[in-house]
Amino acid sequence: MSLFPINFREALLSDIFIIQVIANKSWRATYTGLITNEQIDYLLRLWYSQSALERLIQDQDYKFYLVIDIEEPIGFFSYFPDSENKHLLRIGRIYLLPEAQGKGYGSQIMKFIESFGRELGFKSIELNVNQGNSAIRFYEKRGFEILREENIQMDNHQFIDLVMGKSI
């Protein structure tokens, strides 16, 4: 894989299987050892089912993109305006295949999201990240700070996330 040319393309309903494959590979590489396999399976079913992805891709406020290196999808990301704070843009997801990590793609994604946010008048960006995820360092290098800890209860599963944010 090369760093250039890289493209971001809005996800289509026909991309759902690709997103599911990337999610499965990247989630298992990222979260094995941080959360249980049962929790990984639960969240993949919850957030990456056909119906869940259809709703997100068709949502006018939710922007879902594929990351394409040459012609190969290597990741995806999403963002959306916060429902309570009109000046806040939320990053929903940033996932790259394990073999695509550490090659500058994440930095390009962040520049794209920040540029979009500034153009539309957003003042800050926030995201949630699992408390043990090594991506915390990635975000800190890009100016994000830990704002608070969130304990999230979903069915029988509990997760501890950090909410990170920065001004743009």
Q: Rounded to the nearest 5 degrees, what angle is found at the Cα of 75, between the Cα atoms of 112 and 119?
A: 15
For 73-108, the pLDDT digits (tens) are 999 999 999 999 999 999 999 999 999 998 999 999
> In a 10 Å sphere around its CB, with 0-12 CB exposed, 13-18 middle and 19+ buried, how is residue 81 labelled?
middle
pLDDT < 50: residue spans in the chain: 1-2
CATH number of the structural domain spanning residue 46: 3.40.630.30
Nearest to 90 by CA among 141, 125, 138: 125
pTM of the model: 0.91
DSSP assignment letter at 134 = T
Sign of the alpha-carbon dihedral angle for 76, 119, 61, 166: positive
User: In terms of residue numbers, what domain contains 75?
Assistant: 6-126
Structural domains of the chain, count: 1
pLDDT of residue 1: 44
pLDDT of residue 70: 85
Answer whether residue 144 is part of any domain: no
Residues 29 and 39: their CA atoms lie apart, in Å, by 14
Residues 140 and 4: their CA atoms lie apart, in Å, by 25
pLDDT of residue 157: 82
